[in-house]
């Protein structure tokens, strides 16, 4: 029996991310993705049920890796502020190194394709972080406000600042990243 070529599947994913970034979902046909990945259009249907499945799977894949990256060196025993800062720096590092994947995810999550994703499952990897936030609230280290509100002032500004499409002129020097963290911390601290 012949086995699936792992390189081939990876090539399909990379081609999908590249094309969707450059020409959008509208123009990224199965034929073009296949050509970019150097496979036959029919090959894509061996790995994925249909085009929609390809796009959704690619998104879930990226989100999973983003979650893992954010929680790198996660150590619940450290001081609360340090935990948050580690996540903060991890975020900038991930986006800087995986800008195409990040932008694919942003485009995807703002499109109706997003409705096809099981968000509960995707966000499950982020639970340790939510637990820590709650601990910070209980210990009166950070403000007692809903988690969404905290996220809106920690994780989203991070994502926006590291998105070169939105922040064209802002240089992401260590100094600027530190400074931005000060703002985030001032927002949520008790």
Q: Which residues bind a copy of itself (CB under 8 A)?
A: 21-26, 103, 106-107, 110-114, 143, 145-146, 148-149, 152-153, 156-157, 160-161, 165-167, 169-170, 176, 179-180, 182-184, 186-189
* Residue 12 binds which of a copy of itself, DNA, none (CB < 5-8 A, kind-dependent): none
- CA atoms within 13 Å, Cβ hemisphere of 174: 0
User: Least distance in Å: CB of 107 to a copy of itself?
Assistant: 5
Structure-token match 């123009």, residue found? 27
- Which residue, 18 or 32, is less far from DNA as judged by CB? 32
* Residue 167 binds which of a copy of itself, DNA, none (CB < 5-8 A, kind-dependent): a copy of itself
- Which residue, 6 or 171, is less far from a copy of itself as judged by CB? 171
- As given in the structure block, the two tokens for residue 54 are 């390809």
CA distance 34 to 41: 5
Environment class of 169 (CB within 10 Å of its CB; exposed 0-12, middle 13-18, buried 19+): exposed
Q: Confirm if 92 and 172 have CB atoms less than 8 A apart.
A: yes
- Which residue, 14 or 176, is less far from a copy of itself as judged by CB? 176
Report residue 107: phi and psi, to 5°. -65, -40
3 touching DNA, by CB under 7 A: yes
């Amino acid at each position: 029996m012949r086995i699936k070529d792992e390189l081939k599947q990876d090539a399909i994913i990379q081609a999908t991310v590249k094309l969707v970034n450059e020409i959008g979902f509208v123009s990224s046909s199965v034929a073009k993705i296949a050509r970019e990945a150097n496979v036959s259009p029919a090959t894509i249907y061996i790995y994925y049920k249909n085009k929609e499945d390809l796009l959704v799977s690619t998104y879930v894949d990226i989100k999973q890796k983003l979650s893992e990256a954010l929680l790198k060196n996660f150590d619940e025993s450290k001081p609360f502020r340090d935990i948050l800062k580690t996540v903060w720096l991890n975020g900038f590092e991930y986006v800087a190194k995986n800008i195409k994947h990040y932008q694919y995810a942003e485009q995807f999550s703002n499109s109706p394709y997003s409705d096809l994703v099981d968000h509960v499952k995707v966000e499950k990897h982020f639970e340790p972080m939510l637990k820590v936030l709650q601990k910070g609230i209980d210990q009166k280290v950070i403000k007692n406000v809903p988690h969404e509100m905290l996220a809106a002032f920690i994780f989203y500004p991070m994502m926006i600042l590291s998105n070169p499409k939105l922040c064209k002129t802002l240089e992401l020097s260590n100094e600027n990243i530190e400074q931005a963290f000060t703002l985030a911390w001032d927002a949520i601290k008790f």
